[in-house]
Amino acid sequence: MKTYIATTGAAFGLLVLAHIARVFQEGGHLLKEPFFLATTVASAGTCVWAFILLMKMRTADLRS
């Protein structure tokens, strides 16, 4: 399960980085597109959530 969460978190993190790179490449007009913003925010949230879950799993493993 940890591997799945880490892989998913990394994939969504890479998607966020690609979106940031695209904004720099194509310009700030992308920041006015709701779908682009929604997918970027959702991807960032999923990445953070995966990181939090991994940290919780790690501390649970250390306690047992």
10-residue averages of pLDDT along the chain (64 residues): 93 97 93 95 97 90 72
Contacts of 46 (CB under 8 A, 6+ apart): 8, 9, 12
Number of domains forming the structure of the chain: 1
What is the structure's pLDDT at 1? 86
pTM recorded for the entire structure:
0.85
Residue 16 and residue 47 in contact, taking contact as beta carbons nearer than 8 Å: yes
pLDDT at 35: 96
Cα–Cα distance for residue pair 1/7, rounded to 1 Å: 10
- Expressed as residue numbers, the domain containing 56 is 2-63
